């Protein structure tokens, strides 16, 4: 254990820790902070979020026909409020835009009507008008469930059956809106990239220093020398798990500011989220699954980079071999293993099979190298 602790101190040196902090700060500023600071982003997104909160609080886990009738009743009341506001504006009445219906059907090619319309929407930013736009969008989604699941993609028999099941049992009408889901997917995708980079920073030097100083030759001649190879990996595993855990803690501490707690018990498969999952996952369960997936990817990258570090003759080759690995995980892995988990547009077994596969391949690579190190002769 003392050897692992000493190796851990070498891995998590002050230089590495400062580099991790610097890279994380820069990455957050470039790719992550925006989705924290400006969520929901503008209008009518802000109004749709408020309506979504109301739906979750008022109607619970899903919106049945009775709830939808009430939702439309509230819409009609808000139309009345909008008309009342427009009637109070002499310019709007004079331009023939004195009711909400007239306002919505106004000919915006007319310069005067365009100017009045812009004033209401963008200068005065009348809340009730923006809110009605958000409500109309959600009403349209509810009234056209025939588009759910396909979105211009032809579904096979199993996929169609899954969509039909959700529509029949009512789960497809879960009060889970697209912007909340999309915001988390964007954030988690960027977090996964940062974790990938962090793992590479930690593990890249793992075996390089000993090989550069020919310490491995000395280790081969000692009884305690050869086991040092896997003890270094054990130390790297502890370091990587610690770094990933800190990254998750920082991320979810900041994510609290997006105020999405009221959606945690909502099913992610919904006509309002444009998503269909093979499983009946709540948003919280989806988040937990994405964290498990990122941990699995991090462990796989740890094993592969450790293999490269133990094989590459120098840092240039080491980093060069990691570039295709990073590209593969970013281009392919992030979308399918983090952002679109359990989507029906992939096989039902895709996620568990793929995660098991990459862990098996990476583990086999390192095991092969370990066995080779145990048998290596001093040269």
Is the predicted pLDDT of residue 326 greater than 50, yes or no? yes
Other C-beta atoms closer than 10 Å to the C-beta of 199 total: 25
pLDDT level of residue 378 (50, 70, 90 thresholds): very low
Segment 327-368, tens digit of pLDDT: 888 888 898 899 989 999 899 999 999 999 999 999 888 787
Q: What is the pLDDT of residue 329?
A: 86
pLDDT level of residue 211 (50, 70, 90 thresholds): low
Residue with tokens 């409500």: 135
CA of 252: how far to CAs of 38, 259, 284, in Å? 16, 11, 12
Is the predicted pLDDT of residue 218 greater than 70, yes or no? no
Is the predicted pLDDT of residue 209 greater than 70, yes or no? no
Q: What is the dihedral of CA 58, 64, 68, 69, to 10 degrees?
A: -110
- Cα 37 to its chain centre, rounded Å, is 16
Mean pLDDT of 144-159: 80
Crossing angle of helices 127-143 and 65-87, in 10° steps, is 150
Burial degree of 176 (CB within 10 A; 0-12, 13-18, 19+): buried
Is the predicted pLDDT of residue 246 greater than 60, yes or no? yes
CA separation for the pair 247, 41 (Å, rounded): 25
Segment 54-73, tens digit of pLDDT: 999 999 999 999 999 999 99
Q: What is the pLDDT of residue 356?
A: 94
What's the pTM value of the predicted model, to 2 decimals?
0.90
In three-state secondary structure terms, 277 is strand
Segment 249-280, tens digit of pLDDT: 999 999 998 999 999 999 999 999 999 999 99
Retrieve residue 316's tokens: 């240039």
Per-domain boundaries in the chain: 2-40+175-375, 63-157
Mean pLDDT of 276-297: 95
CA of 132: how far to CAs of 6, 17, 221, 236, 297, in Å? 63, 50, 78, 54, 43
């Amino acid at each position: 254990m003392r050897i692992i602790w000493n190796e851990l101190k070498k891995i998590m040196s002050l230089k590495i820790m400062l580099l991790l902090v610097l890279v994380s700060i820069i990455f957050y500023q470039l790719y992550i902070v925006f989705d924290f600071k400006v969520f929901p982003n503008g209008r009518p997104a802000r109004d749709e979020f408020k309506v979504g909160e109301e739906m979750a609080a008022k109607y619970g886990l899903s919106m049945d026909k009775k709830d939808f009738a009430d939702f439309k009743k509230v819409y009609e009341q808000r139309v009345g409020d909008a008309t009342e506001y427009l009637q109070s504006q002499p310019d709007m009445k004079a331009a023939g835009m004195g009711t909400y219906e007239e306002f919505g059907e106004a000919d915006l090619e007319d310069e005067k009507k365009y100017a009045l319309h812009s004033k209401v929407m963008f200068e005065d930013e009348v809340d009730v008008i923006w809110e009605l736009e958000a409500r109309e969008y959600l009403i349209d989604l509810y009234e056209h469930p025939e588009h759910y699941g396909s979105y211009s993609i032809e579904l096979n028999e199993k996929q169609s059956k899954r969509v039909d099941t959700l529509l029949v049992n009512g789960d497809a009408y879960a009060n889970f809106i697209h912007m909340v889901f999309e915001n988390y997917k964007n954030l988690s995708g960027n977090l996964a990239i940062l974790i990938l980079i962090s793992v590479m920073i930690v593990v890249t030097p793992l075996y390089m220093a000993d090989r550069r100083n020919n310490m491995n030759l000395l280790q081969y001649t000692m009884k305690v020398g050869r086991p040092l190879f896997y003890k270094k990996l054990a130390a790297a595993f502890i370091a990587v798990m610690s770094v990933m855990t800190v990254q998750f803690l920082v991320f979810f501490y900041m994510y609290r500011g997006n105020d999405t707690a009221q959606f945690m018990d909502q099913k992610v498969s919904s006509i309002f989220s444009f998503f269909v999952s093979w499983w009946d996952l709540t948003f919280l369960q989806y988040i937990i699954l994405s964290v498990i997936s990122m941990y699995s990817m991090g462990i796989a990258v740890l094993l592969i980079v450790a293999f490269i570090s133990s094989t590459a003759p120098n840092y240039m080759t080491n980093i060069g071999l990691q570039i295709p690995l990073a590209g593969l995980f970013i281009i392919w892995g992030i979308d399918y293993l983090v952002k679109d988990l359990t989507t029906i547009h992939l096989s039902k077994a895709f996620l568990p099979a793929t995660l098991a596969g990459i862990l098996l391949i990476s583990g086999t690579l390192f095991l092969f190298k370990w066995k080779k190190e145990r048998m290596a002769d001093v040269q």
